[in-house]
Amino acid sequence: MDLDPELAALRPPGPFFALRTDPYGDPAGLPTLAAAYAPDGPGDPLTARVRLVAHRLRAPEPRVAASLAQQGLAARLWSVALGCAVLYGRLPDLRPGLLRWDIGAAAPDDLWLTEVSPGPGDSATTAAAAATAAATTATAAALADAVLHGHLEPLGETLRAHYGIASGLLWGNAGSALAGAARELERWARAEGRTDAAARTRALAGELFAHPLLRTTGTRTGIAFRRRSCCLYYRVPGGGVCGDCCFSRPPAAPGTSTAVPDKGDGPTG
C-alpha cells in the first residue's frame, strides 16, 4: 500500500498513531526534533518541554519531568512508525529534521511531518514483502533505524547529559512505550477483524524486543509487558506505579494503592 500524503490510515487506531501532514498549514515556526536533540542550552525545545511537563505534573525534580517527557515522545514515535509499518507495509522518512514538534500540544497535534516520502529502508522492506519472515526482519530493522537510532539514541544522550538520567531508565521507557503502542494497535486490529494487521504487529514487536537496546528492558507475555525499571512517575504528587512497572507499589510509600492516574504519556493498558 502506497503512502498517501495525509497518512490517513494512521487515524483509525487513535490519536497517538495519527500524524499531522497538512500541506496547507504552516509548521515553519515550530522546531524540528533535530533541534530538540541538539544540546543547545536552556532555550532549546527539549528543555522547554521538560519544564512544561514539570509544571503540569508538579514534578519535584527535573529528572522526573525529563523521564516522563522522553517516554511521551517515545510513545508517539513508536506509534507512528509501527502504525505505518503495519498498515502501509512501509515507513515514511521520519528523520528528526523532517518532524516538527509543538511542545505545548497533545497528540496528534504535537508532531508534524513536513514531507511524506519513503524512508531510507523502504526499498529493502518492500523487496522482502513476498516472504513473511524476511519482510518482518527487514521492517523491524527499518523501524529500529528510524526510531531507536534516529531518535531515541540522540534524545537519550541529551537527557543524560542535561539531567543525569540513568541509561537503563530511558531504555526502559522506550521498551514500555513500544509495548504500549503494539498492545493498542493489536487490540484495535483485532476489534476491526484485521487479524493480518494484529499478527504483523505482534511479529514486529517481537523482532524489536530482540534488539540489543531493548531485549533487557522487560519481559513480555502475549501483549503484556513488565519492565525492569521505573519511569519515576510515582514521585509526582498524586502519582503511583504504572501497570508495567517493576514495582508493585510506590517505593517511597509502602502500602499506597497501586491505582495509577493517567499520566498522558502514550498508549497504556
Q: Quickly list DSSP for 222-248.
A: TTEEEESS--SGGGSTT----TT-S-S
Q: How much is the pLDDT for 211?
A: 96
Q: How much is the pLDDT for 262?
A: 35
Percent of the chain with pLDDT over 90: 67
Q: How much is the pLDDT for 255?
A: 40
- Residue 135 — very low, low, confident or very high, per pLDDT cuts 50/70/90? confident
Question: What average pLDDT is seen over the chain?
Answer: 86
3-state secondary structure of 131: coil
Q: Is the confidence at residue 131, as pLDDT, over 70? A: no
Q: How much is the pLDDT for 41?
A: 53
Q: Answer yes or no: pTM beyond 0.95.
A: no
- Residue 122 — very low, low, confident or very high, per pLDDT cuts 50/70/90? low
Q: Is the confidence at residue 244, as pLDDT, over 90? A: no
Tens-place pLDDT, residues 141-175: 999 999 999 999 999 999 999 999 999 999 999 99
Q: Quickly list DSSP for 145-168.
A: IIIIIIIIHHHHHHHHHHH---HH
Rounded CA separation 206/217 (Å): 13
Question: Could you tell me if 210 and 236 are in contact, meaning their C-beta atoms sit under 8 angstroms apart?
Answer: no
Tens-place pLDDT, residues 28-80: 789 999 999 986 655 689 999 999 999 999 999 999 999 999 999 999 999 99
Rounded CA separation 192/160 (Å): 41
